[in-house]
Amino acid sequence: MTLDDVYDLFDRIALVDDRIVRPNPADAAGQAEMWAVILHDVPLPFAAHAVVHHYQRSPYPLRPADIAEQWRQHIRDRLERHTESEPPIGDTGDGTYRAALLAERQAVARGDLEPRPVPPLRALAAGMDSAPGRGRAIVAAIGGVPEPRDGNANPRAIRCPRCGADPGRSCTTAGRRRADVHPARREAAHRAASGLPPVSDEEVQAEIQRRLDASRAALAALPPGTVTKPSDT
């Protein structure tokens, strides 16, 4: 937002709340400059919408931090719904893809580019004509859907069997976004890429029991006195 944008916003705010803008012109000018600094990356249309949203749910005076927080949440929501482009075939790692990826994220955050959901596998398999968004670009670049190699796959392309994260979304633990994915999701992606069926609940329980049995056997093989039992006190 520019300084002129802030004055425009003040006029809109004054229609619903006369407590915000300072009555003294000199004070109001300094106030506008501070708002312009705090909200420099927030577009005026979004700020105007944030004003309406704030007073729909709160009787308290609007602060620039309220608008800034709504803008940050808006950006987070857009990026969460966006599937980033994969490196092009033949990428040499010279920084070109990284620069393009950064520009893509900024365009999504600003609203210049709409978030692209993960295309369904059937759309990719059907070919370029029916593959939307990112899938269409990938199919066009590589001339078809490649066969999986060495069981490698993008684990974020499938739903996480551990936390239930949807395709394209990050895994979470205790409500916090993880930097990596759950091992179960990675294993499920590898199995899917290799043409294997998902792991069943029975297989999961059998693997847990196998590990428990192995742990008990390892403990039993230790010399006496190696393991100290915890005290009851």
Q: How confident is the model at residue 134 (pLDDT cuts 50, 70, 90)?
A: very low
Residue 16 has pLDDT above 60, yes or no: yes
Q: Among residues 143, 163, 161, 172, which one has the least CA distance to residue 204?
A: 161
Report the distance separating Cα 54 and Cα 45, nearest Å. 14
pLDDT of amino acid 168: 78
**E-state strands within the chain:** 172-173, 176-177
The pLDDT assigned to 87 comes to 65
CB 162 within 8 A of CB 182: yes
Record the tokens describing residue 214, joined without a space: 């192995």
CA–CA separation, 85 and 137 (whole Å): 9
What is the predicted pLDDT for the residue at 66? 95
pLDDT beyond 50 at 132: no
Contact 58, 16 (CB under 8 A): no
Q: What is the pTM for the complete model shown?
A: 0.49
